[in-house]
Every structure is written in C-alpha cells, then in structure tokens.
Amino acid sequence: MATFTQFPAESIEVISNAKSVAVLTGAGISAESGVPTFRGEEGLWKNHRAEELATPEAFARNPELVWQWYDWRRGLVAKTRPNPGHTALADLEKLYDDFTLITQNVDGHHRLAGSLDPVEMHGNIWYTRCLTDGDIRENRDTPLPEIPPECGKCGGLLRPHIVWFGESLDESVLSRVFNTSSRADLFFVIGTSGVVQPAASLAGMAKNNGATVIEINLEPTPLTSLADYTILGKAGEVLPPLIEQIPEK
C-alpha cells in the first residue's frame, strides 16, 4: 500500500465512522519519550544482556541480581514521561464506546497519559507479583528500599510483574486481545516492528475480519504490505492533529 506523511482525507472519514477501534503500540512510541529498548547494546548492564536476565531461570538462580537490574531500569524509566502520542491515544479513547488499547510496552506510560484500561501484554515494570500468594501490587519506589523486595502480606519473594523470555502470556490477556482484534472495524498499529508474536498477528487478524488497518511508524515494516494506510512519522507528531479532525459523537 502507499505510504503518507499525513492522513488522507478518505482515512479521516473511515476513522470518524468507526464503531469498534483497537490500537496496538510498540517500542517506537516509548522511544519518543526516551525510554531505552533494553535489548541489544542498549540492554547491556554489568556485562549482562537483557535476554540473560529477564528469564525465570535467572531469577531462580539469583533474584538479587535480577532485581538490581530492574531497579536500574525503573530508575531510567522514571526519568521519562508520556509524550503527545500517549496523550493523543487517551483522547482518542474518549471518542468511541468500543475502544481497546493493546501495548507491548512495560513502562506504564499509557496509564500515566490517561488511558483507562490498557492491555499490557508483557506486564508492567511498576507492578510486582508475589511468588507465594500471587498478590499483584503497584510499586513505584525508585530506588527500591530493599533488594530483593518481599511481599507485605505474607513475606514471600516478589518478582517483577513482567512476562519473561520463555514464559507464556496470560490466557485472559490473549483471549482479550484476540477477541478485540477480531471484532474491530478499525485497527491502528503504532511504533511496532511487527515481528514479535503474538502481537504481530493481531493486525492480520483484524484485516481478515474486515477491519481497516492504519500503520504509524518511522519507516515501513513487515506489516506495511497489509495496512490500508501507512503514515510515516512519529506518533507524537502524527496523532495530535488527527484527533482535532475527528468530530465528537
């Protein structure tokens, strides 16, 4: 499909008339806020790579080391803030009765920007989960007062509420994203390379069920060929003008 630097007039009409809207965001929108990717060279910490630390085996072997890494990560994320792209998506949500925001990001910026119920496929770095009683709680302490932290209810060991390498996504999360993608008549793909499964399959699922797919990214991706419209640019620059063109319902 053709690529654009702004939304064509016919796409504005499609967006305005949509009834069920789903949005998938990836690392690109967080990068606009200055959030590191924590993969590859950017993920190197004390000679450890992210792929070596973000595993259940690494945590079982050395929970203190893993938590030290997450404490460092949390400190970096805490210095960043949601950008206009995050805010625009929170505003977009207000225009539809049926709207679901799905994100691959764990920084929690969509919540901070005002999104009411984002589906955080890979978890949230600001939440902990007790290995003993399963209790999940928000914790925004940075730096953490104790490493590794313990559960305030039972004293059990806490782990980051993150989906690690080698772990499966929560079944309830998968069910929700698949159902949402299947019923959407408009599907946005924003700031994601479209290669990590199962997120990479959601746009195709929506397309196969009749949805219009709109991609927003800095450059073409493997998803560009199935998108009805691909807008090249930063979400924080592309989305705010779009919101102004959509009439309130």
Sequence-ordered alpha helix ranges (H) in the chain:
9-17, 27-31, 50-53, 56-61, 63-78, 84-93, 109-113, 171-183, 202-208, 235-245
Q: Angle CA(92)–CA(16)–CA(197) in degrees, nearest 5?
A: 60
Out of 109, 110, 122, 161, the active site residue is 122
Identify whether the C-beta of residue 80 lies closer than 8 Å to the C-beta of residue 54.
no
Q: Which two tokens stand for residue 77?
A: 């994320």
The partner residues of 65 in beta bridges, in order of sequence, read none
Q: What is the DSSP letter of 146?
A: S
161 a catalytic residue: no
The two beta strands, 136-138 and 123-130, are: antiparallel
Helices 235-245 and 9-17 meet at what angle, rounded to 10?
70
* Catalytic site positions: 122
